[in-house]
Copies of this chain bind each other. A is one copy, B any other.
Amino acid sequence: MREHIKAALIGAGTIGTGVLKTLSMNAHIIKKRLGIPLEVKWVCDIDLEREREVDLSQYLTTRDFREAVEDPEVDMVVELVGGVHPAKEMVLFALERGKHVVTANKALLAEEGEEIFRKAAEMGLDLGFEASVAGGIPIIKALREGLCANEIEAIYGIINGTANYVLTRMEEEGISFRQALEMAQKKGYAEADPTLDIEGIDAAHKAAILATLCFGSTFTLSDVYVEGITRVESIDVAFARDLGYKVKLLAILKRAKDEVEIRVHPTLIPVSSSLAAVRGAYNALSVVGNAVGHTMFYGMGAGMMPTASAVVADMMDIARNILANSPARVPPLAYREGERLKPRPVEEIESKYYLRFSAIDKPGVLSRIAGILGQHNISIESVIQKGRRESGFVPIVMTTHEAKEKMMKRAVQEIDALDITGERTVLIRIENNLNRIS
Protein backbone atom coordinates (compact mmCIF):
# COMPACT_ATOMS: atom_id res chain seq x y z
CA MET A 1 0.00 0.00 0.00
CA ARG A 2 1.28 3.42 -0.93
CA GLU A 3 1.65 6.09 1.70
CA HIS A 4 0.81 9.14 -0.37
CA ILE A 5 0.06 10.41 -3.83
CA LYS A 6 2.23 13.29 -5.04
CA ALA A 7 1.60 15.94 -7.63
CA ALA A 8 3.55 18.66 -9.39
CA LEU A 9 1.71 21.90 -10.00
CA ILE A 10 2.74 23.96 -13.00
CA GLY A 11 1.41 27.50 -12.89
CA ALA A 12 0.79 29.09 -9.50
CA GLY A 13 -1.59 31.86 -10.53
CA THR A 14 -5.13 32.32 -9.24
CA ILE A 15 -6.35 28.77 -9.91
CA GLY A 16 -3.07 27.21 -8.79
CA THR A 17 -3.30 29.12 -5.52
CA GLY A 18 -6.90 27.87 -5.14
CA VAL A 19 -5.75 24.29 -5.65
CA LEU A 20 -3.10 24.62 -2.94
CA LYS A 21 -5.66 26.24 -0.60
CA THR A 22 -8.24 23.52 -1.23
CA LEU A 23 -5.75 20.70 -0.71
CA SER A 24 -4.69 22.09 2.63
CA MET A 25 -8.11 23.31 3.83
CA ASN A 26 -9.71 19.95 3.04
CA ALA A 27 -6.71 17.69 3.63
CA HIS A 28 -8.56 15.71 6.31
CA ILE A 29 -11.59 15.00 4.16
CA ILE A 30 -9.46 14.14 1.13
CA LYS A 31 -7.44 11.71 3.22
CA LYS A 32 -10.65 10.17 4.56
CA ARG A 33 -11.93 9.69 1.03
CA LEU A 34 -8.70 8.29 -0.44
CA GLY A 35 -7.33 6.51 2.59
CA ILE A 36 -3.97 8.28 2.17
CA PRO A 37 -2.90 11.92 1.73
CA LEU A 38 -2.82 13.71 -1.61
CA GLU A 39 0.07 16.16 -1.63
CA VAL A 40 1.61 18.72 -3.93
CA LYS A 41 5.37 18.16 -3.86
CA TRP A 42 6.50 20.68 -6.50
CA VAL A 43 5.23 24.11 -7.44
CA CYS A 44 6.58 25.44 -10.72
CA ASP A 45 6.10 29.03 -11.90
CA ILE A 46 8.16 31.62 -13.73
CA ASP A 47 7.49 34.05 -10.89
CA LEU A 48 8.02 32.46 -7.48
CA GLU A 49 8.44 35.71 -5.56
CA ARG A 50 5.05 37.30 -6.10
CA GLU A 51 2.70 37.77 -3.12
CA ARG A 52 0.22 34.84 -2.93
CA GLU A 53 -2.49 33.74 -0.50
CA VAL A 54 -0.47 30.58 0.05
CA ASP A 55 3.04 30.27 1.45
CA LEU A 56 5.08 28.42 -1.20
CA SER A 57 7.93 27.64 1.19
CA GLN A 58 6.22 24.40 2.22
CA TYR A 59 6.72 23.04 -1.32
CA LEU A 60 9.74 22.39 -3.48
CA THR A 61 9.76 25.18 -6.05
CA THR A 62 11.32 25.53 -9.47
CA ARG A 63 11.16 27.65 -12.58
CA ASP A 64 11.93 24.60 -14.74
CA PHE A 65 8.87 22.39 -15.15
CA ARG A 66 11.04 19.48 -16.32
CA GLU A 67 12.70 19.28 -12.93
CA ALA A 68 9.32 18.87 -11.24
CA VAL A 69 7.83 16.46 -13.80
CA GLU A 70 10.88 14.19 -13.85
CA ASP A 71 10.90 13.64 -10.08
CA PRO A 72 10.16 9.90 -9.83
CA GLU A 73 7.98 10.52 -6.77
CA VAL A 74 5.59 12.67 -8.79
CA ASP A 75 2.48 10.71 -9.86
CA MET A 76 0.61 13.44 -11.66
CA VAL A 77 1.15 16.84 -13.20
CA VAL A 78 -1.38 19.64 -12.86
CA GLU A 79 -1.08 22.11 -15.73
CA LEU A 80 -2.58 25.51 -14.90
CA VAL A 81 -0.49 27.66 -17.21
CA GLY A 82 -3.26 28.39 -19.73
CA GLY A 83 -2.96 29.17 -23.43
CA VAL A 84 -1.89 26.70 -26.11
CA HIS A 85 1.88 27.16 -25.88
CA PRO A 86 3.94 26.20 -23.96
CA ALA A 87 1.12 24.37 -22.12
CA LYS A 88 0.91 21.79 -24.91
CA GLU A 89 4.60 20.99 -24.73
CA MET A 90 4.39 20.71 -20.94
CA VAL A 91 1.44 18.32 -21.06
CA LEU A 92 3.03 16.13 -23.74
CA PHE A 93 6.32 16.11 -21.81
CA ALA A 94 4.48 14.89 -18.72
CA LEU A 95 2.52 12.20 -20.58
CA GLU A 96 5.67 10.96 -22.32
CA ARG A 97 7.27 10.51 -18.92
CA GLY A 98 4.35 8.42 -17.70
CA LYS A 99 2.69 11.08 -15.53
CA HIS A 100 -1.07 11.47 -15.37
CA VAL A 101 -2.22 14.97 -16.22
CA VAL A 102 -4.89 17.33 -14.91
CA THR A 103 -5.55 20.49 -16.88
CA ALA A 104 -8.02 23.38 -16.77
CA ASN A 105 -6.92 24.52 -20.21
CA LYS A 106 -9.91 24.76 -22.58
CA ALA A 107 -7.97 26.52 -25.37
CA LEU A 108 -5.41 23.72 -25.39
CA LEU A 109 -8.00 20.93 -25.53
CA ALA A 110 -10.24 22.68 -28.04
CA GLU A 111 -7.36 23.39 -30.38
CA GLU A 112 -4.83 20.60 -29.83
CA GLY A 113 -6.97 18.06 -27.99
CA GLU A 114 -6.70 15.28 -30.53
CA GLU A 115 -2.94 14.90 -30.17
CA ILE A 116 -3.12 15.14 -26.39
CA PHE A 117 -5.97 12.66 -26.02
CA ARG A 118 -4.15 10.27 -28.37
CA LYS A 119 -0.93 10.51 -26.40
CA ALA A 120 -2.73 9.86 -23.10
CA ALA A 121 -4.49 6.81 -24.59
CA GLU A 122 -1.24 5.50 -26.08
CA MET A 123 0.48 5.76 -22.72
CA GLY A 124 -2.49 4.35 -20.80
CA LEU A 125 -2.62 7.46 -18.65
CA ASP A 126 -5.42 9.56 -17.21
CA LEU A 127 -6.14 13.05 -18.42
CA GLY A 128 -8.52 15.05 -16.20
CA PHE A 129 -10.10 18.23 -17.53
CA GLU A 130 -13.18 18.84 -15.37
CA ALA A 131 -12.09 22.43 -14.75
CA SER A 132 -11.93 23.24 -18.46
CA VAL A 133 -15.71 23.62 -18.78
CA ALA A 134 -18.05 25.46 -16.41
CA GLY A 135 -15.63 25.79 -13.48
CA GLY A 136 -16.98 24.13 -10.38
CA ILE A 137 -19.92 22.35 -12.02
CA PRO A 138 -19.00 18.66 -12.38
CA ILE A 139 -20.36 18.51 -15.92
CA ILE A 140 -17.52 16.45 -17.43
CA LYS A 141 -18.07 13.81 -14.73
CA ALA A 142 -21.79 13.90 -15.46
CA LEU A 143 -21.32 13.41 -19.21
CA ARG A 144 -18.59 10.75 -18.98
CA GLU A 145 -20.19 8.82 -16.15
CA GLY A 146 -23.37 10.11 -14.50
CA LEU A 147 -25.37 10.26 -17.74
CA CYS A 148 -23.34 7.67 -19.66
CA ALA A 149 -26.39 5.46 -20.25
CA ASN A 150 -27.87 8.16 -22.48
CA GLU A 151 -27.49 9.21 -26.03
CA ILE A 152 -27.04 12.97 -25.49
CA GLU A 153 -29.53 14.66 -27.77
CA ALA A 154 -28.76 18.27 -26.96
CA ILE A 155 -26.92 20.59 -24.61
CA TYR A 156 -27.88 24.21 -24.09
CA GLY A 157 -25.30 26.02 -22.02
CA ILE A 158 -24.57 29.38 -20.49
CA ILE A 159 -20.86 28.72 -20.16
CA ASN A 160 -19.23 32.12 -20.18
CA GLY A 161 -19.78 34.09 -17.00
CA THR A 162 -18.41 37.37 -18.37
CA ALA A 163 -20.80 37.43 -21.31
CA ASN A 164 -23.69 36.42 -19.08
CA TYR A 165 -22.82 39.14 -16.59
CA VAL A 166 -22.75 41.76 -19.38
CA LEU A 167 -26.08 40.60 -20.86
CA THR A 168 -27.69 40.47 -17.40
CA ARG A 169 -26.65 44.06 -16.71
CA MET A 170 -27.90 45.23 -20.12
CA GLU A 171 -31.23 43.59 -19.49
CA GLU A 172 -31.74 44.65 -15.90
CA GLU A 173 -30.43 48.19 -16.15
CA GLY A 174 -31.29 48.99 -19.76
CA ILE A 175 -27.70 50.04 -20.40
CA SER A 176 -25.60 49.61 -23.54
CA PHE A 177 -23.13 46.84 -24.25
CA ARG A 178 -20.20 49.21 -23.71
CA GLN A 179 -21.53 50.44 -20.36
CA ALA A 180 -22.21 46.90 -19.18
CA LEU A 181 -18.76 45.74 -20.24
CA GLU A 182 -17.12 48.60 -18.31
CA MET A 183 -19.14 47.59 -15.27
CA ALA A 184 -17.97 43.97 -15.65
CA GLN A 185 -14.36 45.15 -15.89
CA LYS A 186 -14.70 47.32 -12.79
CA LYS A 187 -16.19 44.41 -10.82
CA GLY A 188 -13.47 42.03 -12.00
CA TYR A 189 -15.84 39.88 -14.07
CA ALA A 190 -14.13 40.86 -17.32
CA GLU A 191 -10.44 41.09 -18.10
CA ALA A 192 -8.73 44.22 -19.44
CA ASP A 193 -8.74 42.50 -22.84
CA PRO A 194 -12.14 40.80 -22.85
CA THR A 195 -11.97 39.58 -26.47
CA LEU A 196 -12.07 35.83 -25.79
CA ASP A 197 -15.17 36.20 -23.62
CA ILE A 198 -17.26 38.74 -25.51
CA GLU A 199 -16.43 37.35 -28.95
CA GLY A 200 -17.65 33.92 -27.84
CA ILE A 201 -14.29 32.19 -28.33
CA ASP A 202 -14.05 31.00 -24.74
CA ALA A 203 -17.56 29.54 -24.90
CA ALA A 204 -16.71 27.98 -28.27
CA HIS A 205 -13.63 26.29 -26.77
CA LYS A 206 -15.88 24.77 -24.12
CA ALA A 207 -18.53 23.83 -26.70
CA ALA A 208 -15.89 21.94 -28.71
CA ILE A 209 -14.88 19.99 -25.59
CA LEU A 210 -18.52 19.20 -24.73
CA ALA A 211 -19.16 18.06 -28.32
CA THR A 212 -16.12 15.81 -28.14
CA LEU A 213 -17.54 14.19 -25.00
CA CYS A 214 -21.10 13.86 -26.26
CA PHE A 215 -20.60 12.88 -29.83
CA GLY A 216 -17.68 10.48 -29.53
CA SER A 217 -15.01 12.04 -31.74
CA THR A 218 -12.74 15.04 -31.45
CA PHE A 219 -14.16 18.43 -32.38
CA THR A 220 -12.08 21.58 -32.47
CA LEU A 221 -12.72 25.30 -32.33
CA SER A 222 -13.00 25.37 -36.14
CA ASP A 223 -16.03 23.05 -35.97
CA VAL A 224 -17.94 25.57 -33.87
CA TYR A 225 -20.01 28.38 -35.41
CA VAL A 226 -19.34 31.45 -33.26
CA GLU A 227 -20.90 34.88 -32.88
CA GLY A 228 -20.06 37.04 -29.89
CA ILE A 229 -22.22 39.53 -28.02
CA THR A 230 -20.52 42.74 -29.15
CA ARG A 231 -23.32 43.57 -31.56
CA VAL A 232 -26.20 42.98 -29.14
CA GLU A 233 -27.95 46.33 -28.74
CA SER A 234 -30.10 47.44 -25.83
CA ILE A 235 -33.03 48.01 -28.19
CA ASP A 236 -32.97 44.30 -29.07
CA VAL A 237 -32.80 43.32 -25.41
CA ALA A 238 -35.87 45.52 -24.83
CA PHE A 239 -37.81 44.14 -27.82
CA ALA A 240 -36.91 40.60 -26.73
CA ARG A 241 -38.40 41.30 -23.32
CA ASP A 242 -41.61 42.58 -24.91
CA LEU A 243 -41.78 39.30 -26.80
CA GLY A 244 -41.22 37.17 -23.68
CA TYR A 245 -37.55 36.40 -24.22
CA LYS A 246 -34.15 37.10 -22.73
CA VAL A 247 -30.96 37.41 -24.76
CA LYS A 248 -28.26 34.96 -23.67
CA LEU A 249 -24.95 33.88 -25.17
CA LEU A 250 -25.95 30.25 -25.60
CA ALA A 251 -23.80 27.28 -26.56
CA ILE A 252 -26.02 24.89 -28.50
CA LEU A 253 -25.10 21.29 -29.27
CA LYS A 254 -27.60 19.15 -31.12
CA ARG A 255 -27.42 15.72 -32.66
CA ALA A 256 -29.24 15.32 -35.95
CA LYS A 257 -28.79 11.86 -37.49
CA ASP A 258 -25.15 11.72 -38.63
CA GLU A 259 -24.57 15.43 -38.26
CA VAL A 260 -24.14 17.61 -35.24
CA GLU A 261 -24.77 21.28 -34.65
CA ILE A 262 -22.21 23.05 -32.50
CA ARG A 263 -22.75 26.76 -32.21
CA VAL A 264 -22.31 29.70 -29.85
CA HIS A 265 -24.26 32.88 -30.50
CA PRO A 266 -26.60 35.39 -28.89
CA THR A 267 -29.94 33.61 -28.59
CA LEU A 268 -33.43 34.60 -27.56
CA ILE A 269 -34.67 32.14 -24.94
CA PRO A 270 -38.10 32.17 -23.24
CA VAL A 271 -38.17 34.04 -19.92
CA SER A 272 -39.94 31.01 -18.51
CA SER A 273 -37.02 28.66 -19.25
CA SER A 274 -34.69 27.47 -16.48
CA LEU A 275 -31.72 28.95 -18.29
CA ALA A 276 -33.29 32.42 -18.46
CA ALA A 277 -33.08 32.52 -14.66
CA VAL A 278 -29.29 32.17 -14.71
CA ARG A 279 -27.91 35.59 -13.85
CA GLY A 280 -24.56 37.29 -13.62
CA ALA A 281 -21.41 35.23 -13.47
CA TYR A 282 -23.18 31.89 -12.91
CA ASN A 283 -23.04 29.11 -15.49
CA ALA A 284 -25.65 26.46 -16.24
CA LEU A 285 -25.98 23.59 -18.66
CA SER A 286 -29.21 21.97 -19.66
CA VAL A 287 -28.45 18.45 -20.87
CA VAL A 288 -31.08 16.42 -22.71
CA GLY A 289 -30.55 12.65 -22.73
CA ASN A 290 -32.71 10.13 -24.52
CA ALA A 291 -33.46 8.28 -21.27
CA VAL A 292 -33.12 10.90 -18.54
CA GLY A 293 -34.92 13.75 -20.36
CA HIS A 294 -34.12 17.31 -19.28
CA THR A 295 -31.51 17.86 -16.59
CA MET A 296 -29.74 21.01 -15.49
CA PHE A 297 -26.42 21.66 -13.79
CA TYR A 298 -25.78 25.04 -12.21
CA GLY A 299 -22.94 26.73 -10.35
CA MET A 300 -20.05 29.16 -10.50
CA GLY A 301 -18.34 28.85 -13.87
CA ALA A 302 -15.12 30.50 -12.85
CA GLY A 303 -13.22 31.88 -9.89
CA MET A 304 -10.37 30.61 -7.75
CA MET A 305 -12.15 28.18 -5.44
CA PRO A 306 -14.90 26.78 -7.72
CA THR A 307 -12.32 25.98 -10.38
CA ALA A 308 -10.00 24.51 -7.74
CA SER A 309 -12.88 22.24 -6.65
CA ALA A 310 -12.90 20.74 -10.15
CA VAL A 311 -9.11 20.43 -10.41
CA VAL A 312 -8.82 18.68 -7.05
CA ALA A 313 -11.73 16.34 -7.93
CA ASP A 314 -9.75 15.27 -11.01
CA MET A 315 -6.63 14.79 -8.90
CA MET A 316 -8.63 12.58 -6.51
CA ASP A 317 -10.11 10.62 -9.41
CA ILE A 318 -6.59 9.90 -10.65
CA ALA A 319 -5.46 9.07 -7.12
CA ARG A 320 -8.29 6.54 -6.86
CA ASN A 321 -7.14 5.00 -10.15
CA ILE A 322 -3.57 4.83 -8.88
CA LEU A 323 -4.71 3.13 -5.67
CA ALA A 324 -6.96 0.67 -7.55
CA ASN A 325 -4.31 0.19 -10.23
CA SER A 326 -6.86 1.10 -12.87
CA PRO A 327 -5.33 3.91 -14.94
CA ALA A 328 -7.47 5.16 -17.82
CA ARG A 329 -10.43 3.22 -16.40
CA VAL A 330 -12.69 5.72 -18.15
CA PRO A 331 -11.07 6.90 -21.39
CA PRO A 332 -10.70 10.72 -21.54
CA LEU A 333 -13.42 11.05 -24.14
CA ALA A 334 -15.57 8.40 -22.47
CA TYR A 335 -15.59 6.46 -25.71
CA ARG A 336 -13.36 3.58 -26.69
CA GLU A 337 -13.50 4.13 -30.42
CA GLY A 338 -14.11 7.03 -32.74
CA GLU A 339 -16.90 7.58 -35.22
CA ARG A 340 -16.80 10.98 -36.83
CA LEU A 341 -20.06 12.89 -36.92
CA LYS A 342 -19.99 15.81 -39.35
CA PRO A 343 -20.49 19.31 -37.97
CA ARG A 344 -23.44 20.82 -39.81
CA PRO A 345 -22.59 24.11 -41.55
CA VAL A 346 -24.57 26.94 -40.01
CA GLU A 347 -26.24 27.64 -43.38
CA GLU A 348 -27.95 24.25 -43.07
CA ILE A 349 -29.47 24.70 -39.63
CA GLU A 350 -33.11 25.45 -39.05
CA SER A 351 -34.16 27.90 -36.41
CA LYS A 352 -36.72 30.45 -35.44
CA TYR A 353 -35.45 34.00 -35.81
CA TYR A 354 -35.80 37.44 -34.31
CA LEU A 355 -35.35 40.12 -36.99
CA ARG A 356 -35.10 43.85 -36.54
CA PHE A 357 -35.40 45.78 -39.77
CA SER A 358 -34.65 49.44 -40.05
CA ALA A 359 -37.14 50.81 -42.57
CA ILE A 360 -38.80 53.98 -43.76
CA ASP A 361 -42.06 54.64 -41.95
CA LYS A 362 -44.38 54.54 -44.97
CA PRO A 363 -47.39 52.46 -46.02
CA GLY A 364 -46.46 49.39 -48.06
CA VAL A 365 -43.03 48.90 -46.47
CA LEU A 366 -44.09 46.03 -44.23
CA SER A 367 -45.73 44.25 -47.13
CA ARG A 368 -42.57 44.45 -49.26
CA ILE A 369 -40.48 42.99 -46.45
CA ALA A 370 -43.02 40.28 -45.72
CA GLY A 371 -43.22 39.51 -49.42
CA ILE A 372 -39.50 38.82 -49.69
CA LEU A 373 -39.62 36.60 -46.61
CA GLY A 374 -42.55 34.71 -48.14
CA GLN A 375 -40.66 34.15 -51.38
CA HIS A 376 -37.95 32.47 -49.30
CA ASN A 377 -40.45 30.24 -47.56
CA ILE A 378 -40.14 32.04 -44.25
CA SER A 379 -43.35 32.49 -42.32
CA ILE A 380 -43.81 35.25 -39.81
CA GLU A 381 -44.96 34.55 -36.25
CA SER A 382 -45.32 38.08 -34.88
CA VAL A 383 -44.61 41.68 -35.83
CA ILE A 384 -44.00 44.72 -33.63
CA GLN A 385 -43.95 48.06 -35.38
CA LYS A 386 -43.50 51.07 -33.15
CA GLY A 387 -43.66 54.21 -35.26
CA ARG A 388 -41.08 56.77 -34.17
CA ARG A 389 -41.41 59.49 -36.76
CA GLU A 390 -38.57 61.76 -35.61
CA SER A 391 -35.98 59.97 -37.71
CA GLY A 392 -36.19 58.69 -41.23
CA PHE A 393 -36.14 55.02 -40.22
CA VAL A 394 -38.19 53.05 -37.70
CA PRO A 395 -37.53 49.60 -36.29
CA ILE A 396 -39.77 46.78 -37.44
CA VAL A 397 -39.35 43.68 -35.29
CA MET A 398 -40.47 40.23 -36.40
CA THR A 399 -40.22 36.71 -35.07
CA THR A 400 -40.45 33.84 -37.54
CA HIS A 401 -41.40 30.20 -37.45
CA GLU A 402 -38.70 27.58 -38.16
CA ALA A 403 -36.79 28.49 -41.29
CA LYS A 404 -33.58 27.47 -43.04
CA GLU A 405 -30.64 29.72 -42.17
CA LYS A 406 -29.56 29.74 -45.82
CA MET A 407 -32.95 31.08 -46.99
CA MET A 408 -33.04 33.54 -44.12
CA LYS A 409 -29.69 35.03 -45.02
CA ARG A 410 -30.67 35.36 -48.66
CA ALA A 411 -33.93 37.06 -47.74
CA VAL A 412 -32.22 39.49 -45.37
CA GLN A 413 -29.64 40.31 -48.03
CA GLU A 414 -32.40 41.19 -50.49
CA ILE A 415 -34.25 43.24 -47.91
CA ASP A 416 -31.09 45.14 -46.92
CA ALA A 417 -30.58 46.05 -50.58
CA LEU A 418 -34.01 47.75 -50.83
CA ASP A 419 -34.18 51.54 -50.97
CA ILE A 420 -36.76 51.53 -48.16
CA THR A 421 -34.36 50.00 -45.59
CA GLY A 422 -31.58 51.67 -43.66
CA GLU A 423 -29.03 49.99 -41.37
CA ARG A 424 -28.33 46.28 -41.76
CA THR A 425 -31.01 43.98 -40.38
CA VAL A 426 -30.32 42.53 -36.95
CA LEU A 427 -30.81 38.76 -36.86
CA ILE A 428 -30.84 36.77 -33.60
CA ARG A 429 -31.73 33.08 -33.44
CA ILE A 430 -34.49 31.92 -31.07
CA GLU A 431 -34.31 28.67 -29.10
CA ASN A 432 -37.65 27.51 -27.76
CA ASN A 433 -36.99 23.82 -26.99
CA LEU A 434 -35.84 24.49 -23.47
CA ASN A 435 -36.99 23.14 -20.16
CA ARG A 436 -39.56 25.52 -18.67
CA ILE A 437 -39.91 26.39 -15.04
CA SER A 438 -43.15 28.29 -15.34
- Listed in ascending order, the chain A residues whose CB lies under 8 Å from chain B are 18, 22, 25-26, 29-30, 32-35, 130, 136-138, 141-142, 145-151, 216, 274, 277-279, 289-300, 303, 305-306, 308-313, 315-317, 320-321, 323-326, 328-330, 334-337, 339, 437-438
Contacts and interface: CB of A to CB of B under 8 A. Distances in A.
A309 B150 contact: yes
A216 B296 contact: no
A70 to B, nearest CB: 27
A26 B149 CA distance: 7
A438 B277 contact: yes
Interface centre among A148, A216, A320 (most CB of B within 10 A): A148
Given A278-B437, A309-B150, A337-B32, A299 B295 contact: yes
A312 B149 CA distance: 6
Contact of A325 (B29, B35, B292, B325): B325
Nearest to A135: B292
A33 to B, nearest CB: 6
Given A274-B298, A291-B305, A313-B145, A326 B321 contact: yes
Contact of A22 (B216, B291, B293, B337): B291
B299 A296 contact: yes
A303 B151 CA distance: 18
B320 A146 contact: no
A316 to B, nearest CB: 5
Nearest to A287: B299
Contact of A137 (B277, B295, B300, B339): B295
Given A138-B146, A325-B326, 10 more contacts: A29-B150, A29-B216, A141-B141, A279-B438, A291-B309, A293-B305, A294-B300, A297-B297, A321-B326, A325-B325
A295 B136 contact: yes
A329 B334 contact: no
Contacts of A298: 274, 295-298
Q: Which 3 A-B pairs have the closest CB atoms?
A: A138-B146, A326-B326, A149-B312
Contacts of A309: 147, 149-150, 289, 291-292
A305 B292 contact: yes
B29 A151 contact: yes
Contacts of A33: 148, 334-336
A309 B262 CA distance: 25
Contact of A324 (B216, B291, B324, B334): B324
A127 B150 CA distance: 21
Question: Main SS of chain A's interface residues?
Answer: mixed
Contacts of A130: 146
Contact of A145 (B141, B291, B334): B141
Nearest to A335: B32
A184 to B, nearest CB: 19
A141 B149 contact: no
Contact of A136 (B29, B292, B312): B292
29 contacts: A22-B149, A25-B151, A25-B290, A26-B151, A30-B149, A32-B335, A32-B337, A33-B335, A34-B336, A136-B292, A141-B141, A142-B142, A145-B313, A147-B313, A148-B313, A149-B308, A149-B310, A150-B309, A274-B277, A291-B309, A293-B305, A294-B299, A295-B297, A296-B297, A298-B298, A320-B329, A320-B330, A321-B324, A326-B326
A157 to B, nearest CB: 14
Contacts of A299: 292-296
Nearest to A291: B309
B145 A142 contact: no
Contacts of A149: 22, 26, 30, 308-313, 315-316
Nearest to A339: B32
A231 to B, nearest CB: 27
Contacts of A295: 136-137, 297-300
A323 B329 CA distance: 8
A142 B150 contact: no
A437 B141 contact: no
A142 to B, nearest CB: 5
A14 to B, nearest CB: 14
